[in-house]
Amino acid sequence: MPLKPVARFSVSYLQVLDEKGKLDEKLEPQLSADDLKYLYRAMCLAREADQRLLKMQRQGRMGTFPLCTGQEATVCGATFALTEKDWYVGAYRDLGGRLMRGEPLSRYCLYWNGYEEGNVLPALGRTLPASVIVGAQTLHAVGIAYAMKYRSETDAAVLTFCGEGATSEGDFHEALNFASVWQAPVVFLCQNNQWAISVPREKQTHSRTIAQKAIAYDLPGLQVDGNDVLAVYKATKEALDRAKAGEGPSFIEAITYRLLMHTTSDDPAKYRTKQEEEDWWKRDPIPRFRRYLENKGLWNDASQAGLETEIRETVNQAVQELEATDRFKPDAPFDHVFGTPHPRTEQQRAEFLENLRREAADA
Query: Residue 271 catalytic?
Result: yes
Query: Residue 283 catalytic?
Result: no
Of residues 262, 256, 257, 263, the one with CA closest to residue 277: 257
H/E stretch holding 88 reads strand 87-89
Question: Which listed residue (52, 93, 98, 262) is catalytic?
Answer: 262
Question: Which listed residue (93, 258, 283, 290) is catalytic?
Answer: 258
Question: Which listed residue (13, 58, 271, 312) is catalytic?
Answer: 271
Query: Residue 262 catalytic?
Result: yes
- The long-range contacts involving 322-325, CB below 8 angstroms and separated by at least 24 positions, are 322/106, 322/109, 322/110, 322/113, 323/61, 325/106, 325/110
Cα–Cα distance measured from residue 87 to residue 125, given in angstroms and rounded to the nearest whole number: 8
- Check: CB of residue 163 under 8 Å from CB of residue 192: yes
Cα–Cα distance measured from residue 239 to residue 245, given in angstroms and rounded to the nearest whole number: 10
User: How many helices and strands (H and E) does the chain possess?
Assistant: 12, 8
Catalytic residues: 258, 262, 271
